[in-house]
């Protein structure tokens, strides 16, 4: 960091100022020179403290084009014209503290006892929305009023008869402040604050900043045009994700490369197969439900895990009936697999849709099914997944393989042997979102997963319907034809089971001698690769033949799986003993730049 910026950063930190998010050109000043002498910098900005941001939560800064000056004019819009439709139903955590709420839930639930679970939840949402409108509390005003009343009571003489109400007033204020804390904590989505901490102001600020960061006011389309119109923005977002998730990709199951996978894929035991597809029980369902964080963002039906956990005795039979029927028929109502996509910015100034990460919000009813399946599948991972993969496998730590990478790279500094060695960091572009469904099913079949279990997993993957939430508004619903969801409990385990095919290809090449891997000692074991989740490092001696074989394996894997290598985020690190000529040739073969 340059020293010229340090005073500004210190000023921001000392004053508690936040840099207001902007739209428009990234740089606000130029020296108006051309060629190599041209300088562009962001010198002009708008700063605000927490009180100002809470007063103008939707304020936006626009960098206008430079015309007559070397600086961009800055336009600060305090109250942008936001089109607001009725928000989707969402259960509120603070409702659970209201007198009569639990009784109301029971009344609504029992009134539709003979209807399917999803219809009962729709009835519950409709009735609770009406109930909430009649019990709406202006918490901020009520807290201020309660504080004022308590202050007046405490100013009375000590022997004044009204002083007897002080204890009651304190209790009422504590109750209101607790409700207010729950309200803002649910919106802040902050997991590190301890339960019971009175941090209402912090939660309020965090929620406001979170909403500001996630609010999409403009995007550049594929033609480079900035779109700001509300309807056009929604159309742009919907079109992008529908096109991406429905892009066709054929998995050729007759490809000869499958012979390698079939030959080297470990199989689950018959006992494991029986346990995985056995009928569920109430204890298993309860463990799955209560392992969920109570106030994680709900799916399209609006019900958080807290609703089901707090009303377990009331809802357990309906939930278990859904789970039991799913394991019996390998099907469930398609509505429970409806999923919202929310867009999380990858950086501080997102410009295109590619600057956002799609995260799936699944219904809790669906997550109960997926969680039970995930808990069963992960029991077999230790025997199915090689130690090259350290993520999501019980008994392994994701940091283990990370430490191996650090040790290998450290040894590169002192490696003197010719021709040297290299480490290729391979980044899979949108790894979860591109996985081919037929590829997943074929891998599960190769592992020996029973048909019943495969059908249930396929139902989870193939019956999903997406809608992108933009500023709490649903977009167009569409059905994908590939990919697994970030946010589904089953997805991490499906991913490592499917991506294990790449590991099998690399290990088979090492067995055949076409890859040598890296050895810390001449007599030590060879390390060809390590993986932690979707991060892959391949280690090899610096040789064109080995680089060609790695490229061939990556191409085969991408062809059958639907994955794509992100060349911009991938990189190669060479040992000091690798010559410049070899470095250049390996970079050309793999089409990856050196780090």
Look at residue 208 in the predicted model and tell me its pLDDT.
52
Radius of gyration of the chain (CA): 29
Tokens for 401, please give them.
Answer: 């393989």
DSSP code of 226? E
pLDDT score, position 136:
66
Q: Residues 560, 561, 564, CA angle at the centre, nearest 5°? A: 110
- Residue 539: predicted pLDDT: 97
| Amino acid 206: pLDDT | 53
Predicted pLDDT at 520:
87
**pLDDT value of position 94:** 82
At residue 50, the pLDDT reads: 77
The single-letter DSSP state of residue 21 is: P
Q: What is the pLDDT of residues 151-190, one digit of tens each?
A: 777 777 777 777 677 777 777 777 777 777 777 676 665 5
Contact 319, 308 (CB under 8 A): yes
pLDDT at 200: 52
Angle at 51 between CA 47 and CA 52, to 5 degrees: 45
Which positions of the chain have pLDDT values less than 50? Answer: 1-3, 191-198, 202-204, 207
pLDDT number for residue 19: 83
Q: What is the pLDDT of residue 193?
A: 45
DSSP element (H, E) containing 395:
none
Range 289-292, long-range pairs (CB < 8 A, 24+ positions): 289/319, 289/364, 289/368, 289/371, 291/371, 292/364, 292/367, 292/371
Give the per-residue pLDDT at 196: 44
pLDDT value of position 217 = 77
Cα 238 from Cα 474, distance rounded (Å):
10
Give the model's pLDDT for residue 82. Answer: 58
- Supply the pTM of this predicted model: 0.81
Q: What is the pLDDT of residue 80?
A: 64
How many Å apart are CA 336 and CA 294, to the nearest integer? 19
């Amino acid at each position: 960091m340059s020293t010229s910026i340090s005073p500004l950063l210190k000023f921001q930190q000392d004053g508690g100022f936040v840099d207001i998010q902007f739209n428009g050109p990234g740089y606000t000043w130029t020296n108006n020179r051309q060629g190599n002498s041209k300088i562009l910098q962001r010198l002009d900005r708008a700063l605000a403290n927490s009180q100002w941001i809470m007063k103008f939560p939707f304020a936006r800064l626009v960098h206008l084009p430079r015309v007559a000056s070397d600086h961009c004019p800055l336009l600060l819009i305090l109250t942008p014209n936001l089109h607001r439709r009725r928000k989707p139903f969402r259960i509120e955590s603070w409702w659970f503290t209201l007198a009569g709420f639990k009784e109301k839930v029971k009344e609504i639930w029992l009134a539709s006892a003979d209807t399917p679970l999803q219809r009962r939840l729709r009835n519950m949402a409709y009735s609770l929305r009406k109930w909430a409108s009649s019990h709406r509390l202006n918490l901020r005003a009520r807290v201020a009023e309660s504080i004022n009343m308590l202050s007046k009571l405490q100013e009375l003489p000590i022997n004044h008869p009204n002083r007897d109400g002080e204890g009651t007033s304190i209790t009422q204020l504590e109750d209101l402040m607790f409700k207010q804390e729950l309200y803002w904590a649910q919106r802040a989505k902050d997991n590190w604050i301890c339960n019971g901490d009175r941090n209402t102001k912090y939660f309020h600020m965090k929620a406001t900043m979170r909403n500001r960061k996630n609010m999409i006011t403009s995007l550049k389309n594929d033609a480079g045009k900035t779109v700001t119109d509300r309807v056009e923005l929604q159309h742009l977002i919907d079109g992008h994700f529908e096109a991406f998730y429905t892009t066709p990709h054929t998995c050729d199951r007759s490809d000869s490369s499958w012979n390698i996978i079939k030959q080297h894929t470990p199989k689950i035991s018959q006992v494991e197969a029986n346990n995985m597809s056995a009928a569920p029980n109430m204890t298993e369902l309860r463990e799955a439900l209560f392992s969920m964080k109570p106030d994680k963002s709900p799916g399209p039906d609006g019900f958080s895990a807290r609703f089901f956990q707090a009303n377990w005795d009331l809802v357990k039979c309906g939930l278990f009936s859904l789970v039991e029927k799913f394991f019996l028929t390998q099907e469930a109502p398609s509505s429970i697999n409806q999923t919202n996509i929310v867009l999380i910015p990858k950086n501080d100034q997102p410009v295109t849709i590619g600057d956002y990460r799609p995260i799936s919000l699944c219904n809790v009813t669906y997550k109960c099914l997926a969680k039970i399946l995930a808990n069963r599948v992960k029991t077999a991972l230790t025997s199915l997944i090689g130690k090259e993969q350290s993520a999501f496998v019980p008994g392994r730590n994701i940091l283990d393989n990370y430490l191996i990478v650090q040790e290998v790279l450290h040894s590169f500094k002192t490696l003197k042997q010719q021709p040297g060695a290299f480490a290729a960091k391979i980044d899979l572009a949108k790894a979860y979102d591109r996985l081919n469904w037929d590829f997943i099913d074929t891998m599960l079949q190769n592992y020996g997963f029973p048909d019943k279990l495969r059908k249930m997993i396929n139902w989870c993957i193939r019956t999903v319907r997406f809608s992108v939430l933009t500023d709490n508004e649903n977009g167009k619903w569409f059905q994908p034809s590939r990919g697994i969801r970030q946010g589904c409990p089953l997805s991490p385990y499906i991913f490592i089971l499917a991506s294990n095919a790449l590991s099998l290809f690399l290990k088979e090449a090492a067995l055949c001698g076409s890859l040598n891997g890296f050895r810390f000692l001449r007599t030590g074991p060879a390390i060809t690769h390590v993986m932690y989740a979707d991060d892959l490092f391949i280690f090899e001696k610096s040789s064109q033949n080995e680089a060609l074989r790695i490229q061939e394996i990556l191409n085969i894997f991408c062809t059958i799986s639907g994955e794509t290598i992100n060349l911009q985020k991938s990189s190669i690190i060479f040992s000091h003993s690798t010559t410049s000529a070899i470095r250049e040739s390996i970079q050309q073969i793999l089409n990856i730049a050196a780090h």
